[in-house]
A and B are shown apart, each in its own frame.
Chain A
């Protein structure tokens, strides 16, 4: 380590990996329903897809967590996304193929993918 720039680079890259320990993180939160119903419907590959996509795009501040059953088992896998300044958006019957689009449009660009939200899937 010979320069401040080197230190700063190391700081940033490590922070991305441990930022989720900060209680008052101001980034987006992806919550995947992972009760028995969610897992049976394929929630785990969806969760992994989110992790990969977020890592690929170096989105520090975004955390991926799980929750239990919210009572709409037939719509699993359900994913809720909380972003600062936007209402919570609930996606239903999410498949790994949709994840890249959701991350880009919703988390990065702030435009939820309305075609996948629970209101539209229900109809």
Chain B
């Protein structure tokens, strides 16, 4: 590696790649060559910076200039102005960083100010395809320390003392799980990494693997040493091609350096990792189904106990942790359990990564200390709700989770506070909803997902969730009765109590939590046959206000089903029988005479 005066970091995460960051990078390299700067300036492909809504993102160091929404056409200007002449291209700077005649450090911008990047420490900083860069930022130091200075028991204790809890959704104390697996009796043990990430809208684990794959590899080796395993598996869905490719490269490089394989760091410890691709089924994120799938069978769960720590993969003791859980491990070893335990709240230590989506300005990836309030995430980090709309609720935990209503926006985000209000931490999906979101419709959306993803092995999940969905469809189409709401609650509690695995046990949560905080909306659908948020099509009617209508006939000409009729220059009317409620008339009317009611 040569010494360069400037590094141009181009985001190669999935978000930016889909908005042409690859072409941005190629153009950048082309112009840098054209201007003879290729000995001075280096282009580096990195993982996700977090501000996905503003991609493609390009950061130029040493100035730390953060350019957003860079098009392939903009690259010439950046090279000519910034790299050649040293003049920052203000027009392309992420606007909160642009100051009069300087640039503000990214750490001072609202989006990053309240974040603390531990699991994402290297994302957007290193090139994930070059192991040396990971090593430069203390990579594999923790593995070296563990192998040469610590006993397996000491490692387990360090993790226990850190207070780290599983980031895959359950929040089980990680150290305890390591302890169980270490103490389990067996001639062969395994460690596994859950990179299935099936929660719709979530992309935390994907981004970690794309931006910093070695952190997970190093952590798995540490875990293997602690519990006495010599083989690891990473279970990742095939829909994550960039993450899979970078993992493969990283594993290859680690083997080449002897950081995976036999006698690591000259000790007796031997460990290797293989990748197993999943076909993208939500249930395969559940630990027993995941292991069944790795074994080559159909991905179905089985009852626990026995827990994986006792009888896991191939009936051997197995440690399974989530990607983000692993990504924290090397830092805990390097900085110490005490350092980690000082971050966060009493019972929830460290940070949590969230994929922020829905009705929010800064869609993207954020990592916050536990205990940060939802208000701080939405209003400060997230930049608020677009188009001046009001915050209504946020959904955490996806299809297994629940909603947090506006009245509880000051709830601190930690495992126990979320459970106490009927939501959950989940794996990190955070969907923000505004006043135009119908809570019954949202509950229906998540239930549609679980009905689709139910593996069908147990009746409560296979049949019960389908019946719940049918009731919700009845309610949102205006045919609901009051007793349906009671039926929903009864079914929900029955399924929670009797389903075989976590998928079924948590599937009713979105319904229960929207009923808890927004029962009036259900009642409005059932009794008044109205959708207060104006979402459920069957309960809406488009109407033309005769006082505002000028009779221009534009709506009638635009209507795809000829539902609008009238005489030019006198008010038109909509035939509700023909209307398909597409809304084209309302958006074409120049006089705002058409509204949905």
Q: Which residues of A contact B (CB under 8 A)?
A: 1-4, 7, 10-11, 14-18, 20-21, 23, 25, 29, 32-36, 39, 47-48, 51, 54-55, 63-68
Contacts and interface: CB of A to CB of B under 8 A. Distances in A.
A35 to B, nearest CB: 6
A54 to B, nearest CB: 7
4 smallest beta-carbon distances between A and B, as pairs:
A66-B86, A14-B136, A63-B62, A34-B86
Contacts of A14: 1, 132-133, 135-136
Nearest to B145: A4
B141 A11 contact: yes
B265 interface: yes
Contact of A21 (B1, B125, B258): B125
B257 A68 contact: no
A14 B3 CA distance: 9
B61 interface: yes
A23 B65 CA distance: 10
B126 interface: yes
B107 interface: yes
A2 B388 CA distance: 59
A23 B5 contact: no
A36 B86 CA distance: 10
Q: Which of A16, A33, A48, A66 has the most CB of B within 10 A?
A: A66
B5 A64 contact: yes
Given A47-B5, A65-B63, A2 B86 contact: no
Interface of B: 1-7, 9, 40, 61-64, 84-87, 105-107, 125-126, 132-133, 135-141, 144, 148, 257-259, 265-266
A2 B6 contact: no
B133 A29 contact: no
A38 to B, nearest CB: 8
A23 to B, nearest CB: 5
A1 B87 contact: no
Given A29-B62, A63-B62, A18 B133 contact: yes
Given A21-B125, A23-B107, A64-B62, 4 more contacts: A7-B144, A11-B135, A25-B62, A47-B5
Contacts of A35: 85-87
Contact of B40 (A3, A48, A54): A48
Contacts of B132: 10, 14
Nearest to B127: A18
Contacts of B7: 18, 20-21
Contacts of A21: 7, 9, 61-62, 125
28 contacts: A1-B258, A1-B259, A1-B265, A2-B265, A2-B266, A4-B148, A7-B144, A10-B135, A10-B136, A11-B138, A11-B141, A14-B1, A14-B136, A21-B62, A23-B105, A23-B107, A25-B62, A35-B87, A51-B3, A51-B5, A55-B3, A63-B5, A63-B62, A65-B5, A65-B62, A65-B86, A66-B86, A68-B87
A20 B59 CA distance: 12
A94 to B, nearest CB: 15
Q: Which of A14, A54, A55 has the most CB of B within 10 A?
A: A14
A103 to B, nearest CB: 14
A34 B84 contact: yes
Contacts of A15: 136-137
Given A11-B135, A20-B6, A63-B5, A3 B61 contact: no
B327 to A, nearest CB: 19
Nearest to B257: A1
B422 to A, nearest CB: 40
A29 B6 CA distance: 12
A7 B137 CA distance: 11
Contacts of A10: 132, 135-136
B86 A18 contact: no
B531 to A, nearest CB: 48
Contacts of B86: 32-35, 65-68
